[in-house]
Every structure is written in C-alpha cells, then in structure tokens.
Amino acid sequence: MASHRRPKQPTRTRVTVLTATAAAAVALSSQSAVAAPDKPNKDEVKAKVDALYEEAEQATEKFNGAREHQEKLEKEIAQLQDAVARDQGGLNDLRNTLGSMATAQYRGGGIDPSVALLLSGDPESYLDKASTLQQLSGRQLQAIAEIQAKQRALAQQRQEATGKLADLDATRKELGEKKKAAQDKLAEAQALLNTLTAQERSQLKDEEAQQSKAGRTAGEGAAPVASASGRAGAALAAAKTKLGSAYIMGATGPSAYDCSGLTQWAYGQAGVSISRTTYTQANDGTRIGRSQLQPGDLVFFYDDLHHVGLYAGNNMTLHASNPRGGVKYESMDNMPFQFGVRVG
C-alpha cells in the first residue's frame, strides 16, 4: 500500500546550510565575473592586428623567397633534363658509329674481341680500360674516348639534376610552411577584428580612411617626380596609378600587391628589373641615408628588412601597407626606417 506520509520538513540547520551554499555560489560567480579579462577595445584590437600583420609580412617575404627559389630550380632542372636528353642522343649516335665499325670488321673476316665486349657486355666498366687496348684501331679508340667522355658528362648531369630535384622538394615544403604561417597570422588578425562591434568596425574604417586621405594629401604635395632620376621617377609614377589597390600576400599585380611585389612591378614599368623579395631588393642598388633620399628610391623598414616602399618625398612613402590599408601613402615616421636604396 502506497505511503501517504507528509514529506519531512527541513530542519533549521539544513535551511542554514542551503542558504550559505547558495550565497557562496553567488559570491564565486561575482568574483569570476570581476576576474574575467575585459574585452579589448577598438584601439587595442587595432594594435594587436597591426602586430599580426607585421608577423604575416615577415612570413610572406620568406614565402616569396622560397617561391622564387622554386621557380629558379624548376628552370634549372628543365635545362638539365634537356641537356641529358641531348647528350644521351649523342651517346647513342657514337655507339652506333662504333657498332658500324664493328660490323665492317665482322664482314671483313672477324671482329675484335674488345669491340664485341663493348657492344654486348658492360660498356661502362669496359670503357675505363679501353684506352689501354692497343689492338683497337685509331678510329675505334677515338670513338671509345668520345663515348667515355659523354658517359661521364651524362652521369654528372644526372647527379646534378637529382640533387636539384631533392632541393626542389625541400623548397616546396618550405613554401607550404611559410604560406601557412602567413595565412594563420592573417586569419588570427581577422578573428580579432571580428570581435569588434559593427559600430567599432565602422569607426576603425573611418579612421583608416581619414589617415589614408591625409597621407594622400601629403604624398601628392611631395616633391615632384621630375626631381627624381628618370627611372626612379617613372617607377614612382607607375606606383601612383595603383593607389587604393588591395594588399594580397605574394601578389605582384596588376590589381593587388604585397610590399615587394609593388616595388618590383613599379620598377618593371620603368624598364628596370629588380629582384622579388625585400631581402634581395636591399642589394639591388646603392644604399643611402635618409637625408639622401629622392622620390622613387626604395625605402626599407624594420630590423629584418621585411618591408619596402617607394620614397615619395616630403617624408612620405608610397607602399603596399597591409590587408587593411592596401596601397597608400604613409608617413615614414610610422615605421622604423633602416636605409634607402638607389636603383640603377
């Protein structure tokens, strides 16, 4: 039979314990809320994003260098493979010539055993001893010597190609690592920007627009391009046509650039070929100090030289800044200047 006893009422002691427990829970919750870190404000997010952009650009320039090395290796390997194919054809022709001599000997009444060995056995090991075989005719000795030289050259080319292929594999791996490092930093920066409210993002965009407008005004008011040397002036004039273009890692135009991609493209429009990365562009001309700068000179920033732009005069640089700013004018004082380079 079911029990209909009334539930036991909590004792005074039990009520006190429950009340104390609830109060403690509320207190702990309040303490946790106080201890939780504050959400970074707009300016803090911008500073962190700018730092991440710098790290991404460091990885981007290393990516550019690895890609340039990969392209160079691919060309060298293709040339070596073509040379191997040509030399293999030449070697086959020489063997055919020697075979024709042996055939003539055979038809004339016999074939020299050493020639038969060359044609039917292991010619590679035989060739090292062939020059000592005095019983061969002069023409046969000459043919054998040519074959020997061709074989050695061919072996060397194949060994070189094998080494370059291994180097290419390592370079491709490095390329992937540098690309991922840059992309991870950019993704982290974007995630930070996404933590801002719509209003904060709008304010940040407005501030960037105002800074870009001020930079453009200062840049356009800089020393005229005509005061630069001809090619440097032409490079700066070309870069000006790309103001507002997007910044994209590894891009060299025509609609998007990274920092060294823009400078390489601009000088290319002036008929001057410079290298691909900031690290190598630093050696593409004569290094100069800040007081010697003229419009169109390359200007390098940061201790490791991971950023480059074009000097625009009036203490301004025209550069592919970062994914948020794109191609724009900016004060030289906003970055740690290292030196300039006068190209050509």
Of the listed 4, 69, 306, 319, which one is catalytic?
319
List helix spans (H) across 245-314: 259-269, 278-281
Of the listed 4, 69, 306, 307, which one is catalytic?
307
Torsion over CA: 337, 339, 341, 342 (sign):
positive
Asked if 307 is an active-site residue, the reply is yes
What single-letter amino acid sits at 319? H
What single-letter amino acid sits at 58? Q
Of the listed 4, 69, 259, 306, which one is catalytic?
259
Asked if 259 is an active-site residue, the reply is yes
List helix spans (H) across the chain: 12-35, 42-107, 113-120, 123-130, 138-194, 198-220, 230-240, 259-269, 278-281
Q: 3-class SS at 132?
A: coil
> Which residues lie closer than 8 Å to 288 by C-beta, 6 or more apart?
297, 339, 340, 341, 342
Q: How far apart are CA 167 and CA 151, in angstroms?
A: 24
Residues with a catalytic annotation lie at 259, 307, 319
